Structure 1
Amino acid sequence: MPKKSFSELINSPGMPVLVDFYADWCGPCKTMSPIIQQVASENAGKIKVIKVDVDKNQAVAQQFRVQGIPTLMLFQGGKVLWRQSGVVPAHQLNQVLRQYTSNGATS
């Protein structure tokens, strides 16, 4: 199966896509990595999670005006639903995701 582009991933209909903009040299990004893994497993089947290395994907980072890392963005159908820079605790991230993945979510 061919690899999908970033644009295809965030614009696909269906479940929301959580994007983690990070860099390997970034300390707070290393703190965020296990939190992202935990949240991804807790929300399996409800969200897609992708990681974007800003050093290797500078055009994408610039397109979305990522100025600090880690930056988390939640997309659905190409729209940004939520955005946060810095380390986000798992319980707070899960709370945000519940707003957009529960059956009673309103937008």
Structure 2
Amino acid sequence: MLHLTARNFETEVKKSTLPTVVMFYAIWCGKCAMMKPVMEHLEEKYRGSIKFCEVEIEESAVLAAEYEADIIPTFVFFHNRELLAVMRGVIDEEQFEERLQKIFRNS
């Protein structure tokens, strides 16, 4: 997953031509650690059609606040400069993928 900060967020997410999932996480968060392999597997599966990125909330507190990532992990879905959806918490891979497909079905 591409690591994002305030420096590259605009370019990598808002200017991306691909639908993009951003996972807001913390290094110390156990639930985030549980979701990371799910995200990595989906990234591999959808390589070239959906971009997967991560933002560490303590490193990029302004971004975390802007996208209300007060519960972690928080997943924010973007396409064509538009925020399409937000999901929070631990979600099993099958359910996450179903939601991912619904959110990006017109992308």
Common fold by TM > 0.5: yes
Query: Which residue number in structure 1 is paired with residue 8 of structure 2?
Result: 5
Query: Which residue number in structure 2 is paired with residue 16 of structure 1?
Result: 19
Unaligned runs of 5+ in 1: none
* 4+ long deviations beyond 6 Å: none
Task: Report Cα offsets for 1:2-49 as digits up to 9, x if no partner.
Answer: x97101222124211100000010010010010111111111111011
Query: Which residue number in structure 1 is paired with residue 60 of structure 2?
Result: 57
| TM score, norm. by length of structure 2 | 0.85
Residue 34 of structure 1 aligns to a residue in which SS? helix
Q: Distance in 1 between matches of 2:100 and 2:48?
A: 12
- Identical amino acids, percent of aligned pairs: 26
Correspondence 1:45 to 2:11:
no
Task: Tell me by how many angstroms 1:58 deviates.
Answer: 0.3
Say whether the 8 Å CA contact 2:85–2:103 is kept in structure 1.
no
Correspondence 1:98 to 2:104:
no
What do you get for the CA RMSD once the two structures are aligned? Answer: 1.9
| TM score, norm. by length of structure 1 | 0.85
Q: Distance in 1 between matches of 2:30 and 2:106?
A: 35
User: How many residue pairs end up in the alignment?
Assistant: 102
Say whether the 8 Å CA contact 1:39–1:93 is kept in structure 2.
no
Unaligned runs of 5+ in 2: none
Question: Which sits farther off after the overlay, 29-38 or 8-17?
Answer: 8-17
AA at the equivalent of 1:47? I
| Structure 2 counterpart of 1:76, from 75, 79, 83 | 79
Aligned pair in 2 of structure 1 residues 8, 91: CA closer, same or farther (>3 Å)?
same
